[in-house]
């Protein structure tokens, strides 16, 4: 796609894609068209709109190297992780204590319900490395849950190595900070869950799960609703058995509008080229890294296995002062008490890098 730059309208200094990715024009148009179709509803409207589900699942399958029957659409990552936590067999789940809460509470709630036991690992630097996981495995460990990319450290998990370490146990991966920004062997995950509102730029209310053969064989989704059973449209006052494949994860019909948005967002990634997206994000992160180091900032996020997250602080300067300088230069970033997180995307231009440079120059000038 030669004119992909014309698809994006975020402000030039927007560097907060790890928080939310502004949708493309194509996604806006797709969503508006679906809503307009609904507003002018006729006899075929609902059935026509519902085809977006199949279209979105096909796009997910192509991106993640799966088949459509292994894909379930979700409204967000959290529902997928709750589905996983209340689907896996009894045993112990190993999860980092430093995980984003979305990948913590589902397991704890399942533990409260008496379905499993949670072992919270506190690895060095918060990284779920293969070595840390291997050392923490016990005979009763049945599930290992990790993030593809850690929200705080930016560390990119080595999924291939983790697959080898985990062995025949289930590997559950929260992919929201990784899918669409890094090239990983997603098939290494038994359950891959991802929301579409960040790096995939599909907007809120979009997401999916991809299940392996191992996951389908060993899990029984407790949270399976009326659309997750065989012959869901047959209302015969009987309790139907769960549907085959990932369809069993369905609780109810999702919005065909958000399904269309997710489908179009993923199709746009295909049109641009997933490799192009990954490469250009990495290049922009490297440019920002150079600017930060030249200004005396300390990089506190991962540098060896990084994705799209670049976190830093400036020694001797209050984080609030640095954040104010960035905001004054028109830079949008995630600000935490001890660090600032920058996260560019393919549409991030060199002007954003210049704005960061300008802001840090002002910080340095005021510290003299």
Give, for all 368 residues of the chain, the pLDDT tens digit.
567 788 999 999 999 999 999 999 999 999 999 999 999 999 999 999 999 999 999 999 999 999 999 999 999 999 999 999 999 999 999 999 999 999 999 999 999 999 999 999 998 888 999 999 999 999 999 999 999 999 998 999 999 999 999 999 999 999 999 999 999 999 999 999 999 999 999 999 999 999 999 999 999 999 999 999 999 999 999 999 999 999 999 999 999 999 999 999 999 999 999 999 999 999 999 999 999 999 999 999 999 999 999 999 999 999 999 999 999 999 999 999 999 999 999 999 999 999 999 999 998 887 64
Which residues does 199 contact at the CB level (< 8 Å), separation at least 6?
17, 18, 21, 176, 177, 178, 179, 180, 181, 308, 345
Give the list of residues 6+ apart from residue 283 with CB closer than 8 angstroms, or none: none
Residues 113 and 86 sit within 8 Å (Cβ to Cβ): yes
Query: Rounded to whole angstroms, how far apart are CA atoms 168 and 64?
Result: 21
Neighbours of 223 (CB within 10 A): 16
pLDDT value for 296: 95
Query: What number of residues does the chain have?
Result: 368
User: Starting at the edge strand that comes first in sequence, how are the strands of the sheet with 71-73 ordered?
Assistant: 71-73, 207-211, 191-195, 170-174, 141-147, 92-96, 117-121
Q: For residue 351, what pLDDT is reported?
A: 96
pLDDT score of 368: 43
> Residue 298 is encoded by which pair of tokens?
């300390």
Q: Are 65 and 90 in contact (CB under 8 A)?
A: no
Q: Which of 263, 261, 204 is nearest to 75 (CA)?
A: 204
User: Roughly how many angstroms between the first and final C-alpha of the chain, as a whole number?
Assistant: 48
C-alpha to C-alpha distance for 62 and 53, rounded to whole angstroms: 14
Structure tokens at 21: 């990715």
What is the spatial distance between Cα 323 and Cα 365, in angstroms, rounded to a whole number? 15
Q: What are phi and psi of 228, to 5 degrees?
A: -100, 20
pLDDT of residue 234: 96
Per-residue pLDDT, 143: 98
- Please give the angle made by the CA atoms of 96, 164 and 223, to the nearest 5 degrees: 55
**Angle value at C-alpha 90, between 178 and 191, nearest 5 degrees:** 20
Note the pLDDT tens digit of each residue in 202-250: 999 999 999 999 999 999 999 999 999 999 999 999 999 999 999 999 9
Q: What pLDDT sits at residue 2?
A: 61
The pTM of the full predicted model, rounded to 2 decimals, is: 0.95
């Amino acid at each position: 796609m030669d004119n992909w730059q014309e698809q994006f309208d975020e402000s030039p200094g927007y560097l907060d894609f790890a928080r939310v990715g502004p949708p493309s024009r194509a996604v806006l148009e797709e969503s508006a068209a679906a809503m307009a179709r609904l507003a002018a509803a006729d006899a075929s409207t609902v059935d026509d709109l519902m085809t977006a589900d199949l279209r979105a699942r096909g796009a997910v399958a192509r991106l993640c190297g799966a088949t459509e029957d292994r894909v379930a659409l979700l409204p967000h990552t959290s529902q997928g992780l709750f589905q996983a936590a209340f689907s896996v067999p009894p045993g112990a789940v190993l999860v980092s204590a430093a995980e984003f809460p979305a990948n913590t509470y589902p397991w704890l709630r399942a533990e409260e319900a008496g379905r499993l036991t949670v072992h919270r690992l506190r690895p060095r630097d918060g990284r779920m490395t293969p070595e840390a996981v291997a050392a923490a495995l016990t005979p009763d460990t049945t599930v290992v849950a990790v993030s593809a990319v850690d929200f705080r450290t930016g560390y990119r998990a080595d999924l291939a190595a983790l697959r080898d370490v985990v062995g025949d146990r289930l590997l559950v991966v929260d992919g929201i900070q990784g899918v669409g920004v890094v090239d990983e062997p997603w098939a290494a995950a038994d359950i891959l869950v991802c929301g579409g509102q960040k790096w995939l730029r599909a907007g809120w209310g979009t997401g999916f799960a991809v299940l392996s053969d191992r996951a389908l064989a060993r899990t029984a989704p407790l949270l399976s609703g009326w659309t997750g059973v065989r012959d869901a449209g047959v209302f015969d006052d009987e309790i139907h058995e769960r549907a085959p494949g990932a369809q069993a994860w369905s609780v109810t019909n999702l919005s065909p509008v958000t399904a269309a948005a997710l489908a179009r967002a993923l199709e746009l990634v295909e049109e641009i080229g997933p490799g192009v997206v990954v490469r250009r994000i990495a290049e922009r992160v490297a440019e920002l890294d150079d600017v930060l180091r030249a200004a005396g900032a300390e990089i506190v996020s991962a540098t060896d296995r990084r994705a799209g997250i670049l976190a830093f602080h400036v020694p001797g300067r209050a984080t609030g002062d640095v954040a104010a300088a960035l905001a004054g230069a028109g830079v949008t970033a995630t600000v935490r008490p001890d660090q600032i997180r920058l996260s560019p995307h393919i549409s991030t231009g060199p002007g954003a890098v210049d704005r960061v440079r300008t802001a840090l120059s002002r910080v340095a000038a005021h510290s003299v």
